[in-house]
Copies of this chain bind each other. A is one copy, B any other.
Amino acid sequence: MASKYVYFFGGDKTEGDASMKMSLGGKGANLAEMAKIGIPVPPGFTITCQACSEYRMLGTFPEGVMDEVREKTRMIEEVTGRAFGGIEKPLLLSVRSGAPISMPGMMDTVLNLGLSSKTVEAMMDGGRDGRFVYDSYRRLIQMFGNVVMGIAHDAFESILLQLRREVGAERDIDLTAEHLEELIRRYREKYREKIGEEFPEDPAFQLEQTIRAVFDSWDNQRAVTYRKLNNIPDDLCTAVNVQMMVFGNMAERSGTGVAFTRHPATGEDVFYGEYLMNAQGEDVVAGIRTPQPLNDINRIHDDQQTLEELMPEVYKELEQIRLKLDRHFADMQDLEFTIEEGKLYILQTRSGKRTALAAVKIALDYLDKGMIDEKTALSRIETTFIDQLLHPRIDPATSYSVAAVGLPAAPGAAVGQAVLDAETAERWASGGKKVILVRNETTPEDIGGMNAAQGILTALGGMTSHAALVARGMGKPCIVGCSAIHINLDSRTVKIGEARIKEGDFLTLAVGEKGEVVLGELPLVEAGFDESFIRLLGIADRHRRLRVRANAETVKDTKQAREFGAEGIGLCRTEHMFFEGDRIVAFRRMILAPTERQRRTALDQLLPLQQADFEGIFEVMDGLPVTIRLLDPPLHEFLPHLREEMGEVSQVLGVTVEDLKEKVESLRELNPMLGHRGCRLCITFPEICEMQTRAIIGAAINVKRRGIDVRPEIMVPLVGHVNEFVHLERVIREVADEMMKSSGVELEYLLGTMIEVPRAALTAGEIAARAEFFSFGTNDLTQMGFGFSRDDIGSFLPDYLRKEILPVDPFQELDRDGIGKLVEMACRLGREARPDLKLGICGEHGGDPSSIEFCHRVGLDYVSCSPFRVPIARLAAAQAAIKEQEEK
C-alpha cells in the first residue's frame, strides 16, 4: 500500500485529529481537531512530516505526493465552491509550515497562491475592491519572489518605499489601487530582472514550488539555530498546511487578530488578545503595526477601540470559541483568527506561550478543575520557568525616574549596555559584557542576539509580537511597543523620551506591570516565590524520588537553601572559609611554614574559626545531612601572584618578598588542574586533614549538646586510588574517635568521597568497600574525561558547537554517552560492593534539568546544586520520575 501523505481538514470530511501531531505537525493536527469539533476553520489539507522527511532524503518529492495534493485541492474546491486558478470565484491558498514542535516564525509561509494577472482581472470584474486585489497580488509576488525564488526581501521593500515617497503615501494603506497597480508592474519587473523569467501565472506550478520551498526552509540557517538552541531533533521535519485564504484586509468589516484563551502573563481565566482591522495576520505577529486590544482586559489607553465594542457579535462568537477551545484542549490556547467581511475564521490554535507565573497559575487551575492530573500539571511547567520566576527585580528600595514605557512583554528586570543590532549583542556578550538589545522590532534573524542579551527593548510590536513571544520563551525580560524610543543606526544612538544615549550606554529594563525603561544601571535583587509556586513545588515533591540538596558554605546561603526546599547540604567547600578577613593570613602562614610544627601552629589559629562556621551551618540544617569537603584547591591559589600584592602580604606575614616569591614559584604548576590538590594535599600535609576533622567533629559535638540533630558527612576530594582514601580515613577516624571519646558525645557521621577522577569511577568497587558515600564531581569528571580544561575551552568550544562536533557544552549538560558512562559504572560497581552506598552529585550539573533526569535514571539518591537552582531541581526531579513512569 502506498503511503498516505496528505490529510484533508474542513467540516465533516476531516481526516486527521489532535493526536497526529508527529505526522501533521502541531498546527495541522490542531486545525483538523478544530474542524472536527465544529470550529470555523478555512478548509485545507496537511502534507505530513513523513513527506518532508522523505523529500529531504530523496532530494525530490516522494512518489504520489503531488497527486494527493491535486486531489485534496479539488476537495477544497468542492467544499468552498471555488476554483484554484479559476476566473470566476477564484480559490486562493496559503501555504504554511507546521512542525511537531512549534518553531515560531522560523520557517517560510506564502500567501495568496492562485493569483495571476488573469485571476486579478477576473476578481476586479467580479466587483472586488481594486486596492485589496492588487495588494494581495503584490504580496504574492513579494513572498513568492522572496521565499521560493530567493530574491532579497529588501529588493521589494525598497521599491515599495520609493513608490510611497513618490506619491507621498505615509503608510502602505495610503496607497491607492492605481499606486498598487504600478507597484505590481515594478515588482514583476524586478522579478524578471532577478530570475530571468516572468512571474509564474500557473497556480499549480506556484503551489508545487511553494511546497518545495517550505520543505526546504526546514534546513534554513535560523531554523537550524533555533533547533539547536531548543534541542529539537533535526530529523523531526515539518508538515505543510495548504489552506483556503481568508482575508482580514478585504474591506472595512475585515480584520485579523491573535488571542489567548487565558491571560498569558498572569494566567487568569480571561480572554486576552489583540486585533488589527483591515490587515493580514502576519501584520500582527510581525509587530509592524501596533494592534488594538480585543477587550478591556488589556486596554491601556482610553483611545484604544476594542473588538468587543467594534464588532460585538463577532467578539461574542470568538469568546464562545475561546471557551470551547480552552476547555477542549484543557490548556491555554494561542489562537489566530481572521474576520473576512464580518465572517469569523479560526486559522490556528496551539498551546500558548506563557510566563512562568502564568504557567504555574494555569496548570494549578486546570488541576483544581479536575481537567488534568498532577503529573500533567507538572509536565507543563518548563524548568526554565522557575529560573524566570527567580529572575531579578529592581531593588524595591531604589527610587528612579522612568525615561519611557512600553508593553511588559516578558517579566523580570535587566541591566546592560544598549546594543543596536543582534550581531553586536552576540559579539559584546561573548566578550563578557551584559547587553540590552534595542531594536525597532525583532525578526527571527535576531534570535542569537536575543539569546545573548540580558533583556530586549523594541519600539514597535505588541504582546504577541516576535520579540514578546521569543523573549517569554527564553525567560528574558522584554519591553515591546515602546514608541518613545527612536533608533538612529547611522549615529548609533537612541533617543529615549527626551534623552539621547549612545550604543554602549547602560540601560535598565524594569518590566513589572508597566514596562519601564530607565537610563543607567539600577541595583537588582533576586525574586522570591509566590504561593502557587510553592504549592506547585509541593506537588513536585510528591512525585520525585531524587532528594535535592544545596551547595553552600555560609549561614546565609544555607538559610536561603533551606527556604528553597533543600534537603541538606551536598557540598560545603571549606576552602571558601579561608579567604575571609584574618583567616587568609593564618592560612598563608600555614603554607609558608617551613616545618610541620609551624604549620600546626597556624592551623590551630584557624581551627576555632572553621569550627564556628560549621556550627552555624549545622544549626540551620538541623535534622538534615551536611556534606563537608576537605580542602580542595592547590595551595598557590591562596597566595598573592602580583608584585604589588606580594610586598604587602610579605609584611603582614613577616617574611621577605624573596621568600614569598620563591614559595609562589615553587608552588607553580604547569597543569594545576591535574596537580597537587584535593586529597593529595592532605596526604602530604595530614595536619590539614586533622585540623578540618577536628573542626567538623568539634562543631557537631557542640551543636548536638545544644539539642541539634546533626548529620555530618565528611567528604574526601579527588580520590583516584582507594589507598588515598584508606590513608586519610585512618587519620580522620582516629581524630574523630578520640574527640568523641574525650567529649563523651557519640556522633553518627559518614565518611565518603568525591568521584571526580576517571580512575575513581573505574575502580569504584574498591573505593566503595571503604567509602560510605560517593558524590560525583562531574565538573572535574568532565574535565578529565574529555581532557577539556574548563578554563581554556573557549579557544575551541564555540567552534565545536558551530561545527556540531559537540551537541552542547558538556559542562552545562552532562555528557551521557561518555562521562555518564563513568557515572553509571561507578554507581553499579559501588552498589555491588556496598548496597547501601549513598550516591549524589555536587557538580554544577546538579542544577541542570537534563542532567538531573540522567541522575534520576542512573539511581542517584540526591542532586546538589546552588541554592537558587534548588526549586528547578525539585521540579526537574519530579518530571524525570514522571517521564520514566510514562515510558514504562
Contacts and interface: CB of A to CB of B under 8 A. Distances in A.
Given A673-B670, A784-B784, A792-B672, A806 B759 contact: no
Contacts of A819: 759
Interface in A120-135: none
Contact of A791 (B671, B763, B804, B815): B671
Contacts of A789: 669-675
Interface string A755-790: 011110011001000000000000010011111110
A623 interface: no
Given A784-B787, A785-B758, A806-B723, A796 B674 contact: no
Interface in A717-766: 718, 720-721, 723-724, 727, 756-759, 762-763, 766
B821 A674 contact: no
A400 to B, nearest CB: 40
Contact of A723 (B675, B680, B804): B804
A817 interface: yes
Contacts of A757: 785-787
Interface string A255-290: 000000000000000000000000000000000000
Given A723-B805, A786-B720, A673 B671 contact: yes
Contacts of A672: 670-671, 789, 792
Contacts of A791: 669-671
Contacts of A784: 674, 758, 784-785, 787
A651 interface: no
A778 to B, nearest CB: 13
A543 interface: no
Which bucket holds chain A's interface residue count?
35 or more
Contact of A674 (B718, B792, B805): B792
B805 A684 contact: no
A683 interface: yes
Of A670, A683, A785, A787, chain B has the most CB atoms within 10 Å of the CB of A787
Contacts of A792: 669-672, 674-676
A884 interface: no
A789 B680 CA distance: 13
A818 B762 contact: yes
A762 B805 contact: no
A763 B817 contact: yes
A795 interface: yes
Contacts of A673: 670-671, 673-674, 787, 789
A718 B818 CA distance: 15
Nearest to A724: B805
A142 B544 CA distance: 76
A721 B819 CA distance: 11
Contact of A759 (B669, B766, B785): B785
B718 A787 contact: yes
A472 to B, nearest CB: 33
A767 to B, nearest CB: 11
Most buried by B among A766, A800, A822: A800
A290 to B, nearest CB: 46
A643 interface: no
Contacts of A804: 723
A799 interface: yes
Given A676-B792, A757-B786, A784-B758, A763 B806 contact: no
A803 interface: yes
Given A721-B818, A804-B723, A787 B796 contact: no
A826 to B, nearest CB: 12
Nearest to A780: B787
Contacts of A817: 762-763, 766
Contact of A758 (B669, B758, B766): B758
Interface in A799-826: 799-800, 803-806, 815, 817-819, 821-822
Contacts of A762: 785, 817-818, 821-822
A330 to B, nearest CB: 42
A146 B283 CA distance: 104
Nearest to A728: B805
A310 B803 CA distance: 88
Nearest to A673: B671
A683 B800 contact: yes
A196 B806 CA distance: 77
A784 to B, nearest CB: 5
Nearest to A726: B805
Contacts of A788: 674, 720
A676 B805 contact: no
B822 A758 contact: yes
Contacts of A727: 803, 805
Contact of A763 (B669, B723, B724, B821): B821
Given A671-B789, A720-B786, A805-B724, A796 B684 contact: yes
A683 B803 CA distance: 9
- Of A674, A676, A721, A788, the most chain B CB neighbours within 10 A belong to A674
Contacts of A669: 789, 791-792, 795
Given A762-B821, A796-B683, A721 B806 contact: yes
Interface string A486-518: 000000000000000000000000000000000
A200 B429 CA distance: 88
Nearest to A667: B795
A271 B819 CA distance: 64
Among A762, A763, A806, max chain B CB count under 10 A is at A762
Contacts of A796: 676, 680, 683-684
Given A758-B758, A763-B817, A786-B720, A676 B795 contact: yes
A821 B765 CA distance: 13
Nearest to A825: B762
Interface in A652-688: 669-676, 680, 683-684
A766 B759 CA distance: 21
A821 B724 CA distance: 19
Interface in A553-596: none
A818 B683 contact: no
A780 B671 CA distance: 13
Contacts of A763: 817-818, 821
A599 to B, nearest CB: 15
Nearest to A799: B684
A88 to B, nearest CB: 57
A310 to B, nearest CB: 57
A776 to B, nearest CB: 14
A91 B332 CA distance: 107
A722 to B, nearest CB: 9
Nearest to A783: B674
Nearest to A798: B684
A762 B824 CA distance: 12
Which are the 6 A-B pairs with shortest beta-carbon distances?
A: A674-B789, A671-B789, A759-B818, A675-B792, A670-B791, A669-B792
Given A671-B673, A721-B786, A759-B818, 18 more contacts: A671-B671, A675-B789, A684-B799, A720-B786, A720-B787, A727-B803, A727-B805, A757-B787, A758-B758, A758-B784, A758-B785, A758-B818, A759-B819, A762-B818, A763-B818, A780-B787, A784-B784, A784-B785
8 contacts: A672-B789, A674-B674, A675-B792, A676-B792, A680-B796, A684-B796, A762-B818, A763-B817
